[in-house]
Amino acid sequence: MQFEPMSLRAAVILAAIVLPLVAWRMFNRRRAAVTLSTAPLLASGPRGLRSRLYRLPDALRFLALISLLVALARPRQGEESVHVSSEGVAIMMLVDRSTSMGRPMQIVQGDTLSRLDTVKRVFKAFVLGGDGLPGRPNDLVGLSTFAMFGEQNCPLTLDRDGLALFIDGITLATQVENLTAIGDGLRHAALSLVAATARTPTKSKFVILLSDGEQNAGELTPAEGARLAASYGIKVHCIFVSSPMGAQQYVDFFGRVVLVPTEVPTGDELKEVASLTGGTFSEATDGESLVEITRRIDQEEKTEIRQKVVRYRERFGLPLVIGITLLGVELLLRATVFLRIP
């Protein structure tokens, strides 16, 4: 038999205050007295059952309080131990939000969304489940984005619905910040993972980095960011969204879409990042391939955690009933058999 710790502490504190007061009242009660000249004669006379049991109501109250205090401490009995296997890791999703992510991307059967909207849809499925993905209900998942610099959109959390709102809130970079700082974004994501898991260490930490370009801004190169992540035991799984055309999309001052010819990114920087951190490199050409890549990462990154769970059966019912019953009997006796008129 065990007691719930917080309830036991409260019961002990209450007992230390109440029981001494009740005991003092029982043994130091001033009884009403009448002066009689025949008092010695009455004292030598026979005593009835009622006079012998005059302290019975006080005893019943004392026992009732003890029973109620035991019930307050919540006695419980551990019945069985269950070992639960769960899969928990810490994941930071790192998304490129440069304006090139606004280009159209085929998702299925000719339907298209922008690259960023496709990524948002797939990453929401990765977290919540859907599109053939089971979801990550037991994992800490966060969200970071980068363009000219890295920023944290959502810290590591178990709140899936809240994280989905942050994923929906990702927007393309403005022209002022329309550069690609992969190294700085990776540094920001890695340090966020380290800080968030400092007090709750996990067996596995990794970043899912998705970009469609090459670095052209920032303090750290992608390789330097990768070495930083690797030094903390963080793997980086890189997804490169390949470009079907060698042009960069911009929106000019008048709101017009302008295509400027550029060299087609090769994804070599992301390959190096994956290699340096022990992660994987994959190339996504459409929505279906992006889902498949995400599914493969989901299957690879599973860490089994065995937890011991003891199920308890509450046993406070019996002392509670006993305490209430004793109080009822005490009140009944004081109102009838042991009724006193001062």
pLDDT, residue 299, reads 83
Only one residue has tokens 């889902």, namely 291
Q: pLDDT by residue (tens digit) across 85-126?
A: 555 688 999 999 998 898 888 776 567 888 999 999 999 999
From 247, 123, 99, 94, select the one nearest 172 (Cα to Cα). 99
pLDDT, residue 146, reads 94
**237 band by pLDDT with thresholds 50, 70 and 90:** very high
pLDDT, residue 226, reads 95
- CA atoms of 323 and 98, how far apart (whole Å): 70
pLDDT, residue 310, reads 67
Q: Considering the chain, tell me which residue range(s) the CATH 3.40.50.410 domain(s) occupy.
A: 89-302
- CA atoms of 203 and 328, how far apart (whole Å): 57
Q: Residue type for 47, please?
A: R
Answer whether residue 2 shows pLDDT above 80. no
Q: pLDDT by residue (tens digit) across 308-330?
A: 556 777 888 888 899 899 888 88
Answer whether residue 272 shows pLDDT above 90. yes
Q: Work out the average pLDDT over 320-342.
A: 82
Only one residue has tokens 């159209």, namely 104
From 295, 308, 298, select the one nearest 85 (Cα to Cα). 308
- pTM, to two decimals: 0.60
**8 band by pLDDT with thresholds 50, 70 and 90:** confident
- CA atoms of 8 and 69, how far apart (whole Å): 9
- CA atoms of 81 and 231, how far apart (whole Å): 39
Q: Are 149 and 182 in contact (CB under 8 A)?
A: no
CATH topology of domain 89-302: Rossmann fold (3.40.50)
Q: pLDDT by residue (tens digit) across 189-214?
A: 999 998 888 876 677 889 999 998 88
Answer whether residue 292 shows pLDDT above 60. yes
Q: What is the mean pLDDT of the chain?
A: 81
The residue among 242 and 251 whose pLDDT is bigger is 242
Instruction: Provide the strand spans (E) within 128-233.
Output: 140-146, 150-157, 205-211
